[in-house]
Structure 1
Amino acid sequence: MALINIDGDPWLTDLDACERLSNEIQSQLVSRNRENSLSREYSSISGQIRVRLKQFGSELEQLNKKLNYISGSLTSAEAERRQRQVEALQSKLVQLQRQFSNVEASAERASLFASDNNRLFDDDDDDPALIKPEASYSVTDLRAQQTRILEDQNEGLEALSRVISRQKVLATQIGSEVDRHNEILDNLADTMETTDARLDRETRQIGVVTVQDSTWGYWTVIGILAAAIIIVAIL
């Protein structure tokens, strides 16, 4: 779901545009599936979807580059949240490309099958002058369409590979952060143990001083009495 661009953030504006383009492509795929795979409208919508898929991939790449550029001015949590949004859109692109390629391949098989049936059951096939050009499906066209399908699938796999690589980097960074936090906790625990030992030592010293202070008065009285006895004995 797109964020509300309250502060006029250009990156959020681009994110909204990518999400709208994704929804438009999905709607076009639904509309194309309602058409006959041999109709002109079907071919027209397929061409539009192919162009929009490439546009979607290009805009996503630019969006990711912009995020890498501005990530230094964002908090780590915000940068990670935006990165997850980009990865979600990249996954959506892969799904759309797969839907497009799978339906395209099914339509090509149906078209080829229909072409073969026309050739098998048309009574006028023996007359070359009566063969309809639109009923045939050339090998060159079939190879070109298969090439386009393979290219779309390769682009989808590359996008998926980039998403997986990014997630692997994030997992490594999270692991490093956890290790650093564990080291900090270990150092804190050592410091607390040292502080506790010092507190115990100081407490014992305070106890000794307190005992010494409490017996000082007795020794003073004993000294005075001894002095008094000596004076009386002299007199």
Structure 2
Amino acid sequence: MKRRLAPILLTALSLLLIAFLAEPKLFEPLFRPLVQANAPAIYVQANLLSLTLSHIAIMAMATGAAIVIAGTLAILVTRPFGQEFLPLSRSIVNIGQTLPPVAVLALAVPIMGFGEKPTLIALFLYALLPIFENTLTGLTTLPHAVMEAARGTGMTGFQRLWRIELPLALPAILAGIRLSAVISLSTATIGSTVAAKTLGEVIIAGLQSNNIAFILQGGLIVAALAVLIHSTLSMLEAKAARQTGR
């Protein structure tokens, strides 16, 4: 029952989000009681759909870069020639957890200027650790019998990695990507403090003008996107787990 209900709820949430982004003024009666007289109930200083797409693009680029770098590092340290670099790799991917995104922004702005670039750097660093650790776990907990059988068939190291190891480790890898994507989506809101086009702009405008409706609009859009991304990647993760029997 729950499996059947979940797609229906996700579809309903997606349609509601699309409707709000396409015609936000239709929802004005819902937000009007939250604002003072003569104050705007819908954020119109920028197009909400444009801000949402920009927010998603920044998150996707940062997460995509983290997948490439963290995934490559995890693969290298699980090869015989790269095992000695595990401590160094862990130190690299832990940089994002050591320095908060706000600190990264403060350090990056003087070098890169205002805009999307400092935000991308902060989100990229923050997304490295979950992807690295999950990929590492997936590749180091493979069934021994399966790996021995693959070696017995004469597969090369690359063939084992591509045909056996990565497919079996896919559920764990997707779990790391899911975690990083949701964290990056939420954290991207701070990018507006350095002039990046994100939904944080709506939230900041609400805080500055004491407009609860603006704060809710920015927050609810981010929350809806987080639910959709989390649920979609969870379904892909569950499908991969069923296919691999892990």
Q: Which has the larger radius of gyration?
A: 1
Q: In proportion to residue count, which structure has more helix?
A: 1
TM value normalised by structure 1:
0.32
Which gives a bigger RCO, structure 1 or 2 (Cα 8 Å, sep 6+)?
Answer: 2
TM value normalised by structure 2:
0.30
